[in-house]
């Protein structure tokens, strides 16, 4: 498979919750993230190809905003190293500039230096 990722995804010190805006359901937790995409870990396999309207919770001690909202498409899904969980890769298709700025701040403030 051709690797099309432009930005290196960064792991955060938090597993931030990501919810489906349409039904409020917890989709999963952020494993790694960039302004262009992210990987989530979840209890269930997520349908590949589906476009999601997502809300990601932010750690209150670091941000005034409670969450950010954006649209992303699930590109792949597979078993996690823990067989009780699934990993899903998302490509962000719509995100406003403030949300992008917050993700950059998340990476800079809360990302592992690897």
The per-residue pLDDT string of the chain (114 residues; one tens digit each, 9 = 90 and over) reads 334 444 444 444 457 899 999 999 999 999 888 899 999 999 999 999 999 999 999 987 878 999 999 999 999 999 989 999 999 999 999 999 999 999 998 888 876 555
- Which of 71, 80, 69 has the alpha carbon at shortest distance from 32? 80
Instruction: Flag whether 35 is in a domain.
Output: yes
Instruction: Flag whether 55 is in a domain.
Output: yes
For strands 17-20 and 67-79, give the pairing.
unpaired
Instruction: Flag whether 1 is in a domain.
Output: no
What number of other Cβ atoms are within 10 A of residue 104's Cβ? 13
State the residue range of the domain holding 29: 11-110
Instruction: Flag whether 17 is in a domain.
Output: yes
> For residues 78 and 103, what is the distance between their CA atoms, to the nearest angstrom?
25
Q: What is the number of structural domains in the chain?
A: 1
CATH of the domain at 15: 2.40.10.220
DSSP string, 39-50: EEEESS---TT-
């Amino acid at each position: 498979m051709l690797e099309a990722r432009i930005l290196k995804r960064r792991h955060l010190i938090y597993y931030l919750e990501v919810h489906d805006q349409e039904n409020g359901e917890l989709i999963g937790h952020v494993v790694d993230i960039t302004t262009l995409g992210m990987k989530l870990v979840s209890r269930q396999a997520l349908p590949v190809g589906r476009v999601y309207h997502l809300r990601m919770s932010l750690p209150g001690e670091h941000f005034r905003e409670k969450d950010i909202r954006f649209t992303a498409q699930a590109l792949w899904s597979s078993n996690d190293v823990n067989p009780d969980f699934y990993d899903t890769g998302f490509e962000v298709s719509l995100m406003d500039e403030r949300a992008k700025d917050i993700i950059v701040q998340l990476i800079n403030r809360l990302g592992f230096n690897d």
